[in-house]
Amino acid sequence: MATKNSFTIAALRERIARGELSHEALVEQVLEAAAQPAAEHVFTRLYADAARAAARHADAARKAGVALGPLAGLPVSVKDLYDVAGETTMAGSAVCAGEPPAARDAVAVARLRAQGAAIVGKTNMTEFAFSGVGINPHYGTPRNPADTDTARIPGGSSSGAAVSVALGLAVAGLGSDTGGSIRIPAALCGLVGFKSTQSRVPRTGAFELARSLDTVCAMARSVEDCLIADAAIADTPLAVRRRPLQGMRLAVPRTLMFDDIEPAVAQAFDRALQALSVAGAQIVDITLAELAEIATVNAPGGFSPVEASAVHRERFAAKRDGFDSRVAARIALGTEVRAADYIAMQDRRRDWIGRVERAIEGFDALVCPTVPIVAPPIAALAEDAAFFKANGLLLRNTFAINLLDGCAFSLPCHAPGELPVGLMLASVRGDDARLAAVALAAEPVLQRIG
């Protein structure tokens, strides 16, 4: 596996500039590693020839003195829910087999290609992006690289995206985030994940889970690399003004976000807060009682089940037995919700967003654990009761930010030798640039822990 800092975009660009590495050699290394046992179940499809061609093009351009963009010739992975022209988009399912192929690339994929990225393959995921665990009964479950002794979940739904980055098979993994699907696997695998404001990146060509919440975004090994990926796929790159951590006001919401927290997560988070405080951040505990209303705002059924049931209405009626039974159970929750109830959910959400935005005005970011548990063993979630309990805990904190239509980063905050723990920095919709400045300032402090 690549070391923590050896596979950042900056580190690879330096090696290429010094002549120690070519884009083509890098892509060949990645393709070879993708065939090793550690990478089992990470990819659902490899694009070896196309990736090699993009790498050779970048090498030729560099030799000719052409300035390259930061992603040119570097390996990037794409979640299996994005359209690639000429292929049926499976979205981690089996029931989509035989459906018409995509006529064109998803917007985000097309923009990565336009930047010269070497797209190495499509990555595995939870079926139809519908859980935070990352288990897939159709294509297998990629193993979390953080533990070589015990097979642990990678987190979901962008499971393969996370493992591809953690194993050094991609500098960035294009995923999606509906209730935490970027930040959860980033937290459990020790990566950085950036969930932007939903409207920043077009969702055209991305297989829907829940249109009210789906966000096109990516994970990588650093905040800077996440911002590079974001700039490649967003309508407009963020104009980030770097600021010192000194004097930043970080609010710790004590309602809901710390319920049922595991000791390892609590210890890592408290240590991280102390480090941020020593570095000059002002840490302020707040109640943020509105978080206790999430279950009410999201009832009956929930936005994801209701909207997913609309997406899959015909497919579900014809092929329900072919769905992952756990995904089918959640889609079924949405089938009986009346239109009037769904409209009332939307009204409650708008009111709730306004009240939360007013409550956290004046803070640079909210800060809390990304998820309250470390990655459990895959075997421990064999029974449905254990699976759904873990899924609820994994999604709880991150979903609050999707419901807010906010933006968030998950940053690693564990010490070496510990299972990964994520620290989430979050803010309101449209505050992505300011939040990025907070994440850039906090990241080196958290990297010094341990």
The widest CA-to-CA distance across the chain, in whole angstroms, is 63
Output phi, psi for 411, to 5 deg. Answer: -120, 140
**Would residue 157 show up in a list of annotated catalytic residues for this protein?**
yes
**Would residue 79 show up in a list of annotated catalytic residues for this protein?**
yes
Measured distance CA(199)–CA(196) in Å, rounded: 8
3-state SS, one letter per residue, for the chain: CCCCCCCCHHHHHHHHHCCCCCHHHHHHHHHHHHCCHHHCCCEEEECHHHHHHHHHHHHHHHHCCCCCCCCCCCEEEEECCECCCCCCCCCCCCCCCCCCCCCCCCHHHHHHHHCCCEEEEEECCCHHHCCCCCCCCCCCCCCCCCCCCCCECCCCCCHHHHHHHHCCCCCEEEEECCCCCCHHHHHHHCCEEEECCHHHCCCCCECCCCCCCCCEEEEECCHHHHHHHHHHHCCCCCCCCCCCCCCCEEEEECCCCCCCCCHHHHHHHHHHHHHHHHCCCEEEEECCHHHHHHHHHCCCCCHHHHHHHHHCHHHHHHHHHHCCHHHHHHHHHHCCCCHHHHHHHHHHHHHHHHHHHHHCCCCCEEEEECCCCCCCEHHHHCCHHHHHHHHHHHHHHHHHHHHCCCEEEEEECCCCCCCCCEEEEEECCCCHHHHHHHHHHHHHHHHCCC
Query: Which position among 22, 131, 176, 181 bears the catalytic label?
Result: 181
Output phi, psi for 271, to 5 deg. Answer: -65, -40
Tokens 């400045």 belong to 437
**Would residue 63 show up in a list of annotated catalytic residues for this protein?**
no
Query: Which position among 22, 93, 131, 157 bears the catalytic label?
Result: 157
Query: Which position among 79, 131, 159, 427 bears the catalytic label?
Result: 79
Those residues with Cβ within 8 angstroms of residue 105's Cβ, 6 or more apart along the chain or in another chain: 82, 83, 84, 85, 113, 205
Classify strands 75-79 and 118-123 as parallel, antiparallel or unpaired. Answer: parallel
What is the set of active-site residues? 79, 157, 181
